[in-house]
Amino acid sequence: MNPPPNKSFPVSWDQFHRDSRALAWRLTSEGPFHAIVAITRGGLVPAAIIARELNIRVIECVSVKSYDHQNQGNIQVLKAINADLLAADAQEKKILIIDDLVDTGATARAVREMIPHAHFATVYAKPKGREMVDTFITEVSQDTWIFFPWDLDFTYAAPIAGGTD
């Protein structure tokens, strides 16, 4: 039996904004948070929305590279977390880590090791990485590729079942 074809899940700006606000609503019972750490680049947009909704003013980022445009590779930390936030986490002040997606959990695992007491939230989660996050909004299958709004342009989309009629 052949494996199912990879699926795509295109997300519009409107949908991503709604899903990020839904994540903020879900996080209200977990706070208040001292700061947000956004995982760049995907976590920057939801972090901005969540920071606004939860009135969080301290925003930091950690730059972790694990993908090119479609393939996952080794984890590389390109920019570490600010020492002040690492100290705040050690004092168990509430830190919120935000990313757009947890896929295999490799990036999440690396960031969790940096700030182990933080609450980790993503907009979308896949089964292999779901255990690494505390809060998420939508689960998608492992074989689904999410196309975020910053990855998309308006073009023709072929019907799922094929054909042109």
CATH number, residue 127: 3.40.50.2020
For residue 100, report the phi and psi dihedrals to the nearest 5 degrees.
-75, -35
Q: Is 103 known to be catalytic?
A: yes
The β-bridge relationship of strands 119-125 and 135-139 is parallel
4 domain residue, yes or no:
no
Tell me the average confidence (pLDDT) per consecutive run of 10 residues in the chain, 165 residues long.
Answer: 67 97 97 94 96 96 76 80 86 93 93 94 97 96 92 78 65
- Domain boundaries, position 141: 9-151
Task: Label the pairing between strands 95-102 and 119-125.
Answer: parallel
Which residue in the list 100, 134, 143, 153 is annotated as catalytic? 100
So what's the pLDDT on residue 139?
A: 96
Structure tokens at 108: 């999440």
- pLDDT, residue 151, reads 86
Question: Of these residues, 19, 89, 99, 153, which one is catalytic?
Answer: 99
Q: Which of 14, 19, 68, 103 is catalytic?
A: 103
- The distance in angstroms from the start CA to the end CA of the chain is 29
Q: Are strands 72-79 and 59-67 parallel, antiparallel or unpaired?
A: antiparallel
pLDDT at position 90: 80
Task: Give the number of C-alpha atoms closer than 13 A to the C-alpha of residue 56, restricted to the C-beta side.
Answer: 27
Establish if 23 belongs to a structural domain: yes
Count of the separate structural domains present in the chain: 1
Q: Tell me, what's the pLDDT at 2?
A: 46
- Does residue 3 lie in a domain region? no
In a domain, residue 1? The reply is no
